[in-house]
Structure 1
């Protein structure tokens, strides 16, 4: 009867297919966001590793030895391998240290370059 209008079967199938496509897109977006959040967390910890190494270099009274060196440390419950390369810069007045760290299993990388005077660490009055 004409007074009893509703949705046809084809209209319902089209509506369900559109809804399922939207739901699948949202599920994929959630997976992508979760994966990126985990990677970002690893990168933040990797930055912490290289910054800690930089603080050790900057606060040591002796400048770092020139050349390459490496080591391992644990941070954030993960094992990290760091490498550093020190070379003279600024006509021998500074030591440039390139530091990088990488998590052993995921390979999350981070890097940082610092400059420090070749002499003793300057006290706070001399730095500013």
Structure 2
């Protein structure tokens, strides 16, 4: 293959032949020659020329071990924070579920006390109930009001450990 044929195959610029280079292998060092109009001819880069360029480039690509460890530490701290947040969220949801069930039981007990005939006696009443497989304790304190035609009922729902989950004050007609 002549020098002119090789230059036509790779572009429109003549190529310089490198002494000791096998013509069957792709050229790695090709000198570009300016065309008559002042522009450089374009030629496709072979894979070998790109590989030789990457091998000759300084090794600044990639991450060092220290950078990877710092990134891993930051990621693990963020993951732990998310786990703690999720745990707090689950605890809050559980507590709200308990309060909702206690509010339902409070409404049930309030309806019973408001509809009870004859009116409940003054003093404290209490009991235990189970709703949604949760044991709840209720306490109702019935007291007189300044108006003799009305009585006051303080109703409270607590869990087994004594934490107040719901409370309400009712006023009903005296008997």
Shorter-chain TM range is: 0.7 to 0.9
SS in 2 for 1:35: helix
**Pick from 87, 105, 123: which aligns with 1:49?**
105
Specify whether residues 89 and 106 from structure 1 end up closer, same or farther in structure 2 by C-alpha distance, changes over 3 A only: closer
Normalising by structure 2, we get a TM-score of: 0.62
- Aligned partners of 2:171, 2:116: CA distance in 1, in Å? 13
Using CA pairs under 8 Å that are at least 6 residues apart, name the structure with larger relative contact order, 1 or 2: 1
Following TM superposition, the consecutive aligned residue runs of length 4 or more in structure 1 with deviations greater than 6 angstroms are: none
Q: 1:100: how far off?
A: 0.7
- Aligned partners of 2:139, 2:99: CA distance in 1, in Å? 16
Is 1:84 aligned with 2:134?
no
1 or 2, which has the higher strand percentage?
1
For structure 1, the residue ranges without an aligned partner over 5 or more in a row are 120-128
Structure 2 residue aligned with 1:62: 118
Is 1:112 aligned with 2:153?
no
For structure 2, the residue ranges without an aligned partner over 5 or more in a row are 1-56
Specify whether residues 9 and 106 from structure 1 end up closer, same or farther in structure 2 by C-alpha distance, changes over 3 A only: farther
- Aligned partners of 1:31, 1:100: CA distance in 2, in Å? 29
Normalising by structure 1, we get a TM-score of: 0.83
- Aligned partners of 2:63, 2:99: CA distance in 1, in Å? 52
Specify whether residues 80 and 31 from structure 1 end up closer, same or farther in structure 2 by C-alpha distance, changes over 3 A only: same
Q: Deviations over 1:70-119 (max 9, x none)?
A: 11112111221111101112422211100111122584622111111114
Q: Contact (CA 8 Å) 1:43, 1:108: kept in 2 or not? A: no
Is 1:14 aligned with 2:70?
yes
